[in-house]
Amino acid sequence: MASTSYNLKRTLKSNTIFLVLIAVMVLFQVLIVATGNGSLFAPQNVTNIIKQNSYVVILATGMLLCILTGGNIDLSVGSIVCLVGALAGTFIKNMEMNIYLSIFLCLIIGILIGAWHGLWIAFIHIPPFIVTLAGMLLWRGVALIVLNGLTISPMPDKYLALFNSSIPAISNETFDKMGYDAVHALTFKVTMIIAVVCCLIYVIVQFLNRTSKIKKGYEVEPMALFIGKLVLLSAVILVVAGLLGQNEGLPVILILMAVIVAAYGYYTQNTVPGRYLYALGGNAKAAQLSGVNTDKVMFFAYTNMGFLSAVAALVCIARFNSAAPTAGTNYEMDAISSCFIGGASAYGGTGTVGGAVIGAIFMGVLNNGMSILGVDSNWQRAVKGLVLLLAVLFDVASKKKKSGK
């Protein structure tokens, strides 16, 4: 009984931000309905929250890897988004280059920028804060030079379809032939089938992981708690899918985000190089003495951040249908806030990709809910700043409690 109670307490503690997210969503729903401003869970609004915050999820995933190395951050991601977006607009719109070649070049440029930062940080040992602060100024300046202060728009429909379309993709001819009701029913059916398949895959993977841990002698949570988590998360997936199915269907950008989150979640939790990130953040000297090449680990973290910044840039110019000089402003703050709110430690060595994603969703719901309620933008910034401070305060208090100070 004591063991079950302990596991329940530990499970609740490890899922605190998820429970807080649910509470905040319920609170906003009550306030929005009470003020007659619609519903937070309106199908179109749920789709908008996903699309509007896609870049935050992508950047937060990369930022987490930097934070794991010892509480380090990357201040340049917003400027990289602006620069890569400017180059993508120049390649695709102005130079009329092949779309896929342009995307490839932009990703390579993002990797090179990240490697440039990684070189100074990992091998020359300049503090990440200084290097990325310099990068924030440098790449924003280069972006303004490329754009010459002008906005490049609109982007080709073929490019927009890569990131802004939904599944199932219904053409205008098909829509006219089938009619609204038939298309709506088809969209809902296809979306729910995909959601059910995803739930089944998720459940199978979780059971396999649990079995593997038991065989290796690791402690696992009680079966009742394990089943409860699977049921709850599967229900969330199905409810969200149901709402998306009532609107446009499954956004392609959601699939891209799911692939990135799954890949990096597996990398950080189930691979040796991924665990090196935690080792470096937990105790860099001990990791070095254990044979971990800490310089290479740090170099990878920042090179990867450049890559994901480029991915976010490609998503953003599709979302806004333009490459603008102001693109990427404060994006680094959104990514950093998402990681800390999602449970990443300000000291490094602690945090998960899933937590960063929940933190990003929390920030998205906070922005969307306050916007629907008509809260002034200045108050929105104040609230987000206070939430970030409270998240870090919680982390500091937890550290002190563990150390007995």
The CA-atom distances, in angstroms, between 5 and each of 1, 218, 250, 352 are 6, 18, 39, 24
> Residue 194: what residue type?
I
Confidence of residue 6 (pLDDT cuts 50, 70, 90): very low
Res 209: pLDDT: 85
Q: 348: which DSSP letter?
A: S
CB environment 9-45: b (16+ within 10 A), e (fewer): eeeeeebebbeebeebbeebeeebeeeeeeebbebeb
User: Which of 128, 64, 62, 77 lies closest to 344, judged by CA?
Assistant: 64
Q: Tell me the pLDDT tens digit for each residue of 119-146.
A: 999 999 999 999 999 999 999 999 999 9
The structure tokens listed for 384 are: 């987000």
**310 exposure class (CB count in 10 Å sphere: 0-12, 13-18, 19+):** buried
Is 80 exceeded by the pLDDT of residue 375?
yes
d(CA 315, CA 255): 12
Tokens of 124: 């020359």
More confident residue, 122 or 41: 122
Q: Are 118 and 303 a contacting pair, CB within 8 Å?
A: yes
Distance between CA 136 and CA 124 in Å, rounded? Answer: 19
| Amino acid at residue number 308 | L
Alpha-carbon distance of 192 to 184, in angstroms, equals 12
Per-residue pLDDT tens over the stretch 142-160: 999 999 989 998 999 899 9
Top-confidence residue, 399 or 106 = 106
- Rounded CA-CA distance 65/340 in Å is 12
Q: Do 76 and 280 meet the contact criterion of CB atoms below 8 Å apart?
A: no
Smallest Cα–Cα separation from 273: which of 233, 303, 309, 251?
Answer: 303
Instruction: Kindly report, residue by residue over 274-288, the tens digit of the pLDDT.
Output: 999 999 988 888 988
List, for residues 57-71, the tens digit of each pLDDT value: 999 999 999 999 998
Is the pLDDT at 224 greater than 60? The verdict is yes
> Is the pLDDT assigned to residue 1 strictly greater than 50?
no
- What is the tens place of the pLDDT at every residue in 191-206? 999 999 999 998 998 8
- Write the pLDDT tens digit of every residue in 237-270: 999 999 998 888 889 999 999 999 999 999 998 8
